[in-house]
Amino acid sequence: MTSVRSMLGSNRSMIGFALAALLTLGLALFAVANAQEGEAGTETDTATEMPMAAGETVTQVMVANSADYGDYLTDANGRAMYIFLNDTNGVSNCMDDCLVNWPPVLVAPDTDLASLSPDLDASLLSTLEREDGSMQLVFNGWPLYYYVGDAAPGDVTGHGVGDVWYLVTPMGTGAGLESGMPGGDAAP
């Protein structure tokens, strides 16, 4: 006759075996999923990757269109460019914590600004040197930024954030703002 103690012991063994089998299956499925994700990642078109790596510079400025906001500036990867209404006279007032969500649009120091875009008035393009020595692109007196919340080309989720961040138009004004800017000013 089998004792109660030996029956309990065999049940515990079966439960332990079942848990080990489930854990092994779970790890195997996880490994397969990661391998497939890695393979898919190698086929990703770099033009759709977001966001831009720190220190990466813009080589082209393009014009895109939004049904909601009209024409606005992007880089060659379709990343929207924004202006910050708290910037003044071509000076960036986005520092420290602000830069976590609003990284500057950078250009290489030797960039021929006129070659960045045949669609824009090159006289409106300039740069400013940031505290770290990088060169930030400026358009019509407005330093330009990206928004980290824009996850894909064509995203414009930063527009209107805090009533101080706006898509920049090819005219160098904030998209959707009456007369372009607060108080009707075209540039800071």
Q: Which amino acid makes up residue 99?
A: L
Q: What is the pLDDT along the chain (188 residues), one digit of tens a residue?
A: 555 455 445 555 555 554 454 444 443 434 434 433 343 433 334 344 455 555 579 999 999 999 999 999 999 999 999 999 999 888 999 999 999 999 999 999 999 999 999 889 999 999 999 999 999 999 999 999 999 999 999 999 999 999 999 999 999 999 988 654 544 455 55
Sign, CA dihedral 7-11-16-20, equals: positive
Give 71's strand partners: 65
CB 170 within 8 A of CB 71: yes
Tens of pLDDT along 168-181? 999 999 998 865 45
DSSP 77: T
Q: In the chain, where are the structural domains located? A: 1-45, 56-184
Q: pLDDT for 10-42, tens place per residue?
A: 555 555 554 454 444 443 434 434 433 343 433
